[in-house]
Amino acid sequence: MNTILKSFLVLVFALGVSAGSDHDGHHMHGNSDAWQIKAYTSAAPAFIGDHATVISADGRVLREGTNGWTCRNLVPMPDGGFADAHATAAACSDPNAVAWVEAYIADKTPQLKGDGWIWMKHGDLGVDNFKPYTDGQKDAGHKHYIESGAHMMLMPKDPTSLDGQTTDYTTGAPYVMFKGTKFVHLMIPLDGYYDYQPGAAPK
């Protein structure tokens, strides 16, 4: 993997937060712990997020959970903090999906004990549907770029279980992302999926 890109992904676990906060939970150099807990856990329904473990942008455990799920940001926190929850690409993952995310960051083949699930109700910053590690590269000229609104993801234990599923992300139906790679998974659009890229919505 490109060294700069790997460094970017590793920052998900390495960036710190500090300084005083204002009433919106924004710090001079980051977002408050309380803001992060609210933003990350609301990526899933409350009956999951309210009981999940929460990891901060600098890798600290902000809250121990009781249901086996983990909520955290999937992109590094910028100087000054995240503008809103969408900018965090917050995800709430079950244990198998956590293993998938860690494999993606490390550029290793995911080894799952079972299918994994991820909630991302705030959406993400986009990726080329066929190219891993194009996260956030909206203006890089990728041919199949989709900035997702609210969705779920199925991370398969057996990637071949998704064989035959469509890769068309413009129909509103579930579709395969990263087909033909070790990171293939199923995207499941929810209400608001096309809010950030209405041109890709079903016609």
Cα 177 to Cα 166: distance, rounded to the nearest angstrom: 9
Judged by DSSP in three states, 162 sits in helix
Number of structural domains the chain divides into: 2
Same domain, 11 and 67: yes
Q: Is residue 45 a part of any domain in this protein? A: yes
Helices 95-106 + 3-14 axis angle, to 10: 140
Cα 28 to Cα 81: distance, rounded to the nearest angstrom: 8
Range of the domain at 162: 110-203
Same domain, 38 and 87: yes
Residue 15 confidence class, pLDDT cut points 50, 70, 90: very low
Q: What is the pTM of this model?
A: 0.85
Last residue of a domain, one of 93, 121, 156: 93
Taking a C-beta distance cutoff of 8 angstroms, is the pair 90, 55 a contact?
no
Same domain, 80 and 164: no
Taking a C-beta distance cutoff of 8 angstroms, is the pair 201, 160 a contact?
no
Same domain, 118 and 83: no
Same domain, 72 and 157: no
Same domain, 87 and 118: no
Same domain, 77 and 122: no
Q: Is residue 65 a part of any domain in this protein? A: yes
Alpha-helix runs per DSSP H in the chain: 3-14, 33-41, 46-49, 95-106
Q: Is residue 57 a part of any domain in this protein? A: yes
Cα 175 to Cα 188: distance, rounded to the nearest angstrom: 7
pLDDT tens, position by position, 116-163: 999 999 999 999 999 999 988 888 999 999 999 999 999 999 999 999
Same domain, 3 and 43: yes
pLDDT tens, position by position, 169-184: 999 999 999 999 999 9
Q: Is residue 101 a part of any domain in this protein? A: no
Cα 53 to Cα 175: distance, rounded to the nearest angstrom: 29
